[in-house]
Chains A and B, each alone.
Chain A
Amino acid sequence: MEDSNTTAYSRPHFEASGGEPFPHPHEGRNLGQKERYASIAAGAALLLLGLARRRLTGLLLGATGAALLGRGVSGRCAFYRAMGISSAPSDRPGVPDNLGTKVERSITIRRSPEEIYQFWRDLENLPRFMKHVKSVKMLDNLRSHWVVTVPGGRTMEWDAMIINEHPNELIAWESLPGADLENAGSVRFHPAPGGRGTEVRVTMQYNAMEGLLGVIAAKILRESPGVQIDEDLDRLKQLLETGEIATASKRPVHSVIAAIEAVTETGESK
């Protein structure tokens, strides 16, 4: 059962989403609501201060104030645009093709496409091998809510939606409007030659939106694109091939509960 909301975002092909320009009511706006109000308040204060002084410093203060005021009212910041920073929340699904960071990675796993597809399609399995994904909760068959940890222990959240899928071959998704981190991705499953399992190909595109968190995330993604996906795919392979994730650390990596169960079961078998 699909409700009308979900079908509204469905598209026949994931790839097509990047090509068509997405209609946008506030073209070029790159400031968030809070930052706009702060800009207006500070701009107005400086302008008044500048007008009261009526000297050269006053003129400068006034000009700065006017610029801040304009920035706040319009929601556009030339400096942010030059730096590639945006603090406006996403008001569109997915990521326009020309924005953000795009990464492709692949790995071969000794499991059938069916097995890997089924494991991945239950999106709530993803935190088991995606290091920074704290939780994924299915909201319905296509929509899910994601909580992701970013450096410093803070979290970013968004809703995502499966926009295309072919059983045992492809799953494609994109974030829904309002995401802290606009993202879209696909995973493909293709039999490897000679019965060597399945080639799993992941394409991810991210575009940071809201404030400082987004800027940090974007910076990390730009500096080490794909590293996180590489690590996550290694762990997926370990999990599906061996049933566990290799670790030399003192603590379990994938599930505290599983380790506690393991120890308890050992105790019982004594």
Chain B
Amino acid sequence: MKAITWQGRHKVLVDTVADPAIINSRDAIIKVTSTAICGSDLHLYDGFIPTMEKGDVLGHEFMGEVVALGSGVSNLKEGDRVVVPFTIACGKCFFCEATQTSLCDNSNPNALMAERIYGASGSGLFGYSHLYGGYAGGQAEYVRVPFADVGPFKIPNGLEDEQVLFLSDILPTAYMAVENCGIKPGDIVAIWGCGPVGQLAIRCALMLGAERVISIDPVKGRLDLAATDKRVIPVNPEKVDLQSMLKELTGGRGPDSCIDAVGMEAHGTNLAAIYDQAKTAIHLATDRPTALRQAIMACRKGGTVSIPGVYGGYLDKIPMGAAFAKGLTFRMGQTHVHRYMQPLLERIQNGDLDPRFIITHRLSLSDGPAAYETFRTSQSECIKVVLKP
């Protein structure tokens, strides 16, 4: 079959690889009908995530049709149309029982590797390095899905792929980031990053009752898209003094919640950002936390900093004193996708949400390598790429 494989920093290929097969009884094979490139795939593309191997199949946002099932899967049948959560969860462990599926105990075969780095391992992920299990990803014609009796979510007739594809990752990710803020009437939410997750987080924040959303991004095209809703105030952090602007926009209080939808590869122009770039370049630090620093400094007393953006290693110059002095709450982590699929499907069905507005590029799987490069370099025009195998 054809698949997009990782070959090294800034190098991906459309490759012919072996077809997947049923290995365990709870497996399914999905024929992919739509798949997307995630902002976090750029972390792999930029070589920021360790334990990638040449030839690894990329992609963790995908949906398709069930074409084969292991003997242990009785809730699906061949021909079912499903969206697959990017987090692989067994459904049986302590964390799965508590619906914290991204913390599943049993789905990462390389758990010991993650334990050594993080003290404990999260769930296995599709197409996201050997640290997360080395599972082949969904930017391919077919995918093996483990624990298929728990993950794949059936899509009712009458909905297009593009309406539901993002249930696999970014829509639940945006929603959980907002849910973690515990929005109360009158709350103003500041969101760093107007990429796909940031855009969807803006919609979710408004849907969950935020008074206003301040969206922060240096890329004009992205800010423009965010500001199509009048309740959104776009701010370019490179054009203004961000901290005083945020105070001004909130009557001197600071945003009630701050969402860092940027993560480890934040861009910045101040001295600290240059320092971060230099340090990561010579491997003295792993992540560049410009957005996170700003969020901590801006957040109002007693507020929440919610972090859907991915961090992978060690951060430097985090204003922990400010966080402590203001009594901030931190919420973060991979998304418990399984928990949100049904409620978000209902939001899509009743018209509360339509995530299609973020799609800027519709391409074929063979356009994948060019699409990665466009996504990386043309952030103003390219917000979300959907690939059709």
Chain B residue at minimum C-beta to C-beta distance from A264: B71
CB of A173, distance to nearest CB on chain B (Å): 25
Q: Which of A40-48, A120-128, A234-242 contacts B (4 or more CB under 8 A)?
A: A234-242
B26 touches A237 (CB 8 A): no
Chain A residues, CB < 8 A from B22: 259, 262-263, 266
Interface residues of A in 224-266 (CB under 8 A from B): 227, 230-231, 234, 237-238, 241-253, 258-259, 261-263, 265-266
Task: Choose from B78, B93, B107, B146 the contact partner of A270 (Cβ within 8 Å).
Answer: B78
A262 to B23 Cα, complex, angstroms: 8
Q: Closest residue of chain B to A238, judged by CB?
A: B106
Can you list 14 A-B contacts (CB < 8 A)?
A238-B106, A242-B147, A244-B25, A245-B109, A246-B24, A246-B88, A246-B107, A246-B133, A249-B23, A249-B109, A259-B23, A262-B22, A262-B25, A262-B27
Is B282's CB within 8 Å of the partner chain A?
A: no
Across the interface, do A246 and B69 meet the contact criterion of CB distance under 8 Å? Answer: no
A197 at interface, CB cutoff 8 A: yes
B69-90 vs A, Cβ < 8 Å mask (1 yes, 0 no): 1111000001000000000101
Asked if residues B106 and A237 are in contact (CB atoms below 8 Å), the reply is yes
Q: Mark B6-49, 1 if CB is under 8 A from A, else 0.
A: 00000000000010011111110000000000000000000000
Which residues of chain A are within 8 angstroms of B91 by Cβ–Cβ distance?
Answer: 242
How many residues of chain B are within 8 Å of chain A by beta carbon? 36
Nearest CB of B to A134, in Å: 20
Q: In the assembled complex, which residues on chain B have CB atoms less than 8 Å from the CB atom of A245?
A: 24, 109
Enumerate the 5 nearest inter-chain pairs by beta-carbon distance, A residue then B residue, closest first: A265-B71, A248-B134, A244-B24, A262-B25, A242-B90
* CB proximity of A230 to chain B, nearest CB, Å: 6
> In the complex, A248 Cα to B70 Cα: how many Å?
15
User: Bound state CA distance, A108 and B92, in angstroms?
Assistant: 13
Q: Could you tell me if A241 and B78 are in contact, using CB atoms closer than 8 angstroms?
A: no
B contact residues around A246 at 8 Å (CB) = 24, 88, 90, 106-109, 124, 133, 146
Q: Which of B92, B115, B135 has the most chain A CB atoms inside 10 A of its CB?
A: B92
Check B324 for interface membership: any CB of A closer than 8 A.
no
Q: How far is the CB of A210 from chain B (nearest CB, A)?
A: 30
Instruction: Report yes or no: B112 in contact with A248, Cβ–Cβ below 8 A.
Output: no
Chain A residues with CB under 8 Å of B27's CB are: 262
B285 close to A (CB within 8 Å): no
- Show the binding face of A for B, using Cβ within 8 Å: 108, 110, 196-197, 227, 230-231, 234, 237-238, 241-253, 258-259, 261-263, 265-266, 269-270
- B136 is an interface residue with CB less than 8 A from chain A: yes
Q: Separation in Å of the B284 CB from the closest CB of chain A?
A: 29
Residues of A within 8 A of B106 (CB): 237-238, 241-242, 246
**A129 smallest CB distance to B (angstroms):** 12
Q: How far is the CB of A234 from chain B (nearest CB, A)?
A: 6
Residue in chain A with minimal CB distance to B91: A242
A266 and B69 contact, CB distance less than 8 A: yes
Interface residues of B in 106-137 (CB under 8 A from A): 106-109, 111-112, 115, 124, 133-136
Asked whether any CB of chain A lies closer than 8 Å to the CB of B105, the reply is yes
Q: Which residue from B70, B94, B133 sits with its C-beta under 8 Å from A196?
A: B94
How far, in angstroms, from A262 to B22 measured CA to CA in the complex? 8
Q: Given contacts A258-B25, A262-B25, are A241 and B68 in contact (CB under 8 A)?
A: no
B70 touches A266 (CB 8 A): yes
Q: Are A248's CB and B94's CB within 8 A?
A: no
A258–B27 CA distance with the chains assembled, in angstroms: 13
Q: Which of A244, A245, A251 has the most CB of B within 10 A?
A: A244
CB <8 Å contact, B23 and A252: yes
Min C-beta distance of A254 to chain B, whole Å: 9
Q: What chain B residues lie within 8 Å of A270 (beta carbons)? A: 78
- CB contacts (< 8 Å) of B108 on chain A: these are 246
The interface residues of chain A lying within 8 Å CB-to-CB of B109 are 245-249, 253
Interchain nearest-CB distance for B116 vs A (Å): 10
- Whether B90 and A248, one on each chain, are in contact in the complex, defined by CB atoms closer than 8 angstroms, is no
Q: Is the CB of A250 within 8 A of B72?
A: no
Contact B112 A227 (CB under 8 A): yes
- Of the candidates B21, B26, B105, B134, the one whose C-beta lies within 8 Å of that of A244 is B26
- For B24, list chain A residues within 8 Å (CB): 244-247, 252, 259, 262
Q: Which residue of A lies closest to B89 (CB)?
A: A242
Complex Cα spacing A234 to B71, Å: 24
